[in-house]
Structures are given as C-alpha cells and as structure tokens.
Amino acid sequence: MLYSRSMGRIIAIDYGRKRTGIAATDILQMIANGVATVPSGEVVKYLSDYISREPVDLFVVGLPKQMNNEPSENMKYVEAFVTHLKRTIPSIPVTYYDERFTSVLAHKAMLEGGLKKKKRQDKGLVDEISAVIILHRQDKYRQGMILPVFLYGQPVLRKEAEDVPKDYPDLKQLVANMFETMYNADGVGLAAPQVGLSIRLVVIDGDVMGDDFPECKGFKRALINPEFLERSEEEIAMEEGCLSLPGIHEKVSRSKTVRVRYWDENWEEHEEVVEGFAARIVQHECEHLTGHVFIDNVSAIRRQLNKGKLNSIIKGTVRCSYRAKAVGK
C-alpha cells in the first residue's frame, strides 16, 4: 500500500488538575489505544519526549463542559495547559473536543469488559480510557458519520415530518449516523429534522442517565413513524435542553407515562409503555416531528427572556462544541 505522504499519530489528552489520560492512534490513524496516565505537571514534557520518538499530526484535548453547555471549573486549567503546550510544541496543531460523558462511558466500558471493582476505581485508568473514547469520536467525525445538527431558526425544524417509507434508502446507515451524531454532541436523543431530514425518525439512548433515572438504563431505541396511543394526565415539570438550542434550558411539563407504537430499523413493530425520564426523552424528540421545539412550551415571558440567546443561535454566533448548522452561517 502506497501513501502520498507520511502519516503521524493523533494524540488525545484528557487533562485533569492532578493527572492526565493520554491515548494515541496508530500511524494510519485507524486504531486508538491508551498510552499512559501522567501527572498533569509533567504532561508537556511527556509529550515532548513522545514526539521525539513518534510522528504526531494532531493533539486533541478534551473540552470540559457542564450539562448546560457552559465551561466547567476545570476549563481555566485546560486553557492554561493548551497555551503552554502550543508554546512548547508550536509545530503540532491543537484542537478541542467535547468530553462530557466520557468518564461515564469509560466506567461503562470497564464494567462491560469485566474489570473488577478495584480496577474500575483506578482513576488513572478511567482518564486513559476517556482519552481513547475522545479519539474514537474524532475518528467517527473523520469518517463522515457525524452529521451537522440543525440549529433553531432552520426551516426544517418547523415542518411537519413525513412518514418514513419501507424502501427509504440506506435507512440503517442513517440510524447509525444519527446515533453517532447524538453521542458526539453528548445528547440522549436526536430527531431526523435536527439533521436536516423532515422524516418521522428518532434515535434515543438514555443509558448515561441510568444512575439518576433507573428507567433510562439500557433504554436505546430507534423509533420510526412513532405514534402516541396514550399519555398520562399526570405531568411532571423538569428542566430540558436541546441540541438545536445550545445554551438554553427551561422547565417543561410532560406526561409522566406514555404508550407509544413505532417500528425499529428492522421494520419490526413495537408497542411500549415508557415512564419517567425515558418518557420525557421520547416526548421531547417526537415533538420535533411535529414542527415544534421545547421552547414553544414555556411562557411568553420566559421566551422573551431567552430572546437574546435565540437570536445568537439564529445568527450562528452561539458557541457550540459539536458540528452544527445555523441559519446565519
């Protein structure tokens, strides 16, 4: 096999105040593995030594964010580290990558891999696996599986979606791409209009919320042409956010329990009763199929208070940590 240029590794860095997990791809940038867990004060020296032995094309640094999309407390330390890294190794570009949920996913991977409790409590190993997860996500982006999320103001978000026909081309690949796009943005649900397609398709994976909401444990679904058969009169108000409205969080009342009929990606029909937070996710995502977004459910006063943020989203000036498509850009 011939290559037009030499290739180098991509290094992922999960930076913490005390220790830092480091992972690297092979030189073909196809396989990611954990490399080391290093005291944070020694990371730049470690990387300087590493690049003297191995070709490196890119540093990918985990971007620490909270669930509301705001920078976490660790952000100032990460930015200081990146500044030091760029000054010390100016020849290699540095990019950020949203690291929300990577620690949760790392613990899940360790559990599924059969690691004993003592090993799962090794914070250094968790950091190292988190760095590997960052690299895997970066690879999905390069493969084209990460689709742009259409932001508030895009006309497709205000259209009534059409039913998905059984002969819809490459449906399974679309479902896979939507899951990867959702994971990349650290979401728990994504509707087809949010990736620019006005069809009745939703993907959901609430497993990362399972510790707080047991009903979400293992709740991973692709819902094609979903239809609500029943909704409970009892409603619960909780704060919600949306990938199409980054930075906006408001309380929304939704039915505690729903009964929904849908088809999966294999065109098998299901009828299911969903409760609690899982029911909230289903209702939120299916709302996108009707041409509505969650901000429509709040009072006029609350919408007015969010007007500045909504205008920023429309103009494309809002800071967004995932691939997105705004009206103004």
Q: Is 250 known to be catalytic? A: no
Which phi and psi angles does 149 have, rounded to 5°? -90, 125
- How far is 187 from 180, CA to CA, in rounded Å? 10
Q: Which of 285, 254, 219, 12 is nearest to 133 (CA)?
A: 12
Q: Would you say 149 and 189 are in contact if contact means Cβ atoms under 8 Å apart? A: no
Q: Which of 144, 183, 147, 139 is nearest to 10 (CA)?
A: 139
Q: Which of 240, 250, 285, 287 is catalytic?
A: 285
Q: Which of 149, 143, 144 is nearest to 185 (CA)?
A: 149
Buried b (16+ CB within 10 A) or exposed e, 86-111: eeebeebebebbbbbbbbbbbbbbbe
Question: Which DSSP category does 151 fall into?
Answer: P
Q: Is the dihedral of CA 205, 207, 213, 214 positive or negative?
A: positive
- How far is 177 from 9, CA to CA, in rounded Å? 25
**C-alpha pair distances (Å), 132 with each of 64, 162, 182, 317:** 16, 39, 18, 31
Q: Which of 108, 152, 103, 115 is nearest to 292 (CA)?
A: 152
- How far is 188 from 278, CA to CA, in rounded Å? 10
Q: Please report where in the chains the tokens 């939703």 appear, as a residue.
A: 202
Hey, which residues are catalytic here? 285
